Amino acid sequence: MGKNKCKGLLPFRSSSLRRRPKKAADHRSPQSPPPHQAFGTVGSPGGGGGGAVVKTKKKAGVPRLWMRFNRSGESELVELDKNAIIRIAAIPARDLRILGPIFSHSSNILAREKAMVVNLEFIKAIVTAEEVLVLDPLSHEVLTFVEQLRQQLPYKTQPKLHGHAEEQENEPLVSTGRQWLPVPESSDGLQAELPFEFQVLEIALEVVCTYLDSNVADLEKGAYPVLDALAINVSTKNLEHVRSLKSNLTRLLARVQKVRDEIEHLLDDNHDMAQLHLTRKWLQNLQSEVNLGAMASNAPATAALVPLHGSNRSGSLVTSSAMDDSDVEDLEMLLEAYFMQLDGTRNKILSVREYIDDTEDFVNIQLDSHRNELIQLQLTLTIASFAVAFETLIAGMFGMNIPCTLYKTHGVFWPFVGGITAASILLFFIVYGYARWKKLLGS
């Protein structure tokens, strides 16, 4: 019986011991979710989830205002965020930092696989082979660039992918089996129209160079009167005007120098200039896709034509290299023209700075001349003070209460005063003549 009682009590006690921790866990478990997380937890069915912490998704970038231009000159205002720009232009995210406010006055022209990132002064754009995206198109400075795009892009020659019979007669085309692709330049040396991205780059450089040239002209117009006024009258007001002029000149010179250095960097590297030809890479990709499609559809027939394709491939490589040289040459001529224009603008700024330096030298010479005059006047007054001190010494000696026979002589006062005054004047001229003989005083 005792053994049976023990066996009967053990299950009762063990069950009570199991229930108590569960009851305590229901009220005191640190893993239980707070009331405000009991419902609405993402990823937990029925509002449960055992208190799992769900990370919130990062917010996308704030959409910014862009204006999109296509090849035909049609434009539209769109709001695109960072992810949309990366998806459209296929550029890395770090390139978008160049278009941010930190690099507001920097100059960069970056070539990527399918796009060109342009940051020239106030113009911030992403150019592809088919369209251009302009950042902040409604700002006062960018409006000029937008208007130039609207005026010039519709009149440019556009490459045609799908040609008809009449189009083939007007423009030389090369057949790829399913499409007609335009040839950039004819074999007889006729100049072809610049590609779309070069046209946009030319418009951007033209707007930036014109803007910088106008700023330099305004600087010259206001600089010379201020400098002439300073040369005539050295005053605090004129010095403040010259200081403001020098600060504006330094900032403008730095901005011109940045654009000039970026163009010079492109001119020094033919590979970078070849990478900027987005239209050629775009057409080559289309041609390769067409060839792959034709080879896939005519797989049995292409096996017997392998040597022929090899010969065509070598010929296409030679043609593409010739096109590369021609494209680099065209872009090089374009960049050299604006490089020379920026160099002329830089020379204008340097001429203004030289005029400022000459004016400062002239003002310093004037100040040195006035300083020398003051020193000469101070030396003259020192000599006169020495002569008067000699006369004062004699008068002080006779002013002491010491018995002297001259005090008893009648009528000797005025002759004595006149004599020591004449002696002091003679001493002044002697010292003054010595100073002039030593060229301490002006002639």
Residue 67 has pLDDT above 50, yes or no: yes
Give the confidence band of 192 by pLDDT, cuts at 50, 70, 90: low
- Is the confidence at residue 18, as pLDDT, over 60? no
Q: Mean pLDDT check: name the lowest of 69-73, 219-223, 236-240.
A: 69-73
Cα separation of 201 and 193, whole Å?
Answer: 14
Structure tokens at 102: 């930190």
- CA dihedral (176, 181, 185, 190) positive or negative: positive
pLDDT band at 407 (very low <50, low <70, confident <90, very high): confident
Mark whether 129 and 168 lie in a shared domain: no
Which residue would you say has higher pLDDT here, 170 or 71?
Answer: 71
Residue 65's closest CA among 74, 73, 76, 57? 76
- Tell me, yes or no, whether 431 lies in a domain: yes
3-state secondary structure 205-242: HHHHHHHHHHHHHHHHHHHHHHHHHHHHCCCHHHHHHH
In a domain? residue 56: no
d(CA 210, CA 123): 13
Please write the tens of the pLDDT for every residue from 334-365.
999 999 999 999 999 999 999 999 999 999 99
Range of the domain at 187: 157-191
387 vs 72, residue with greater confidence: 387
Please tell me the predicted confidence (pLDDT) of residue 60. Answer: 52
Question: Can you count the helices (H) and strands (E) in the chain?
Answer: 12, 8
Final residue belonging to a domain, choices 90, 113, 145: 145
Q: Sorting pLDDT into bands at 50, 70 and 90, what band is 260?
A: very high
- State the pLDDT at residue 269: 85
Residues near 360 by beta carbon (within 8 Å), at least 6 away in sequence = 242
CA atoms within 13 A on the CB side of 390: 16
- pLDDT of res. 15: 40
Tell whether 141 and 185 lie within a shared domain.
no
Judgement on whether residues 70 and 124 belong to the same structural domain of the protein = yes
Q: Check whether 210 has a pLDDT greater than 90.
A: yes
pLDDT at 217 over 90: yes
pLDDT score of 308 more than 60: no
List, in sequence order, every residue forming a beta bridge with 279; answer none if it has no partner.
none
436-443 long-range contacts (CB < 8 A, ≥24 apart) are: 440/376, 440/379, 441/376, 441/379, 441/380, 442/372, 442/373, 442/376
Residue 326 pLDDT greater than 80, yes or no:
no
112 and 170 both lie in a single domain: no
| Radius of gyration for the chain, computed over Cα atoms and rounded to the nearest angstrom | 45
The domain spanning residue 96 has which CATH number?
2.40.128.330
Q: Is residue 53 part of a domain?
A: no
Are 93 and 133 part of one and the same domain? yes
Q: Is 99 a member of any domain?
A: yes
Query: Count of residues for the chain?
Result: 443
Which of the four pLDDT bands, split at 50, 70 and 90, describes residue 61? low
pLDDT computed for residue 155 by the predictor: 58
Q: Within a domain: residue 378?
A: yes
pLDDT at 374 over 70: yes
pLDDT at 199 over 50: yes
pLDDT, position 349? 95
Give the model's pLDDT for residue 325: 52
Confidence of residue 298 (pLDDT cuts 50, 70, 90): low
Does 442 fall in a domain? no
Is the pLDDT at 319 greater than 70? The verdict is no
The answer to whether 145 touches 136, Cβ cutoff 8 Å, is: no
65 assigned to some structural domain:
yes
94 three-state secondary structure: coil
* Average pLDDT over every residue of 76-81: 89
The total number of structural domains that make up the chain? 3
Average the pLDDT over 145-149 and give the result: 91
pLDDT of residue 282: 77
Q: Which two tokens stand for residue 434?
A: 């010595």
Do 120 and 171 lie in one domain? The reply is: no
Average pLDDT, the chain: 75
Judgement on whether residues 433 and 379 belong to the same structural domain of the protein: yes
Q: Which range, 127-136, 278-287, 400-409, is most confident?
A: 127-136
Confidence at residue 38, expressed as pLDDT on a 0 to 100 scale? 39
Asked if residue 169 and residue 115 are part of one domain, the reply reads: no
- Dihedral (CA of 131, 136, 137, 143) sign: negative
Which residues fall within 8 angstroms of residue 128, CB to CB, at 6 or more apart? Answer: 88, 89, 114, 115, 116, 197, 278
Q: CB under 8 Å to 65, separation ≥6 — which residues?
A: 77, 78, 79, 135, 136, 137, 138
Q: Is residue 313 part of a domain?
A: no
- Residue 340's pLDDT is what? 95
Which of 155-169, 206-220, 242-256, 279-293 shows the lowest mean pLDDT across its residues? 155-169
pTM for the model: 0.66
pLDDT of 174 reads 41
Residue at token pair 């003054």: 432
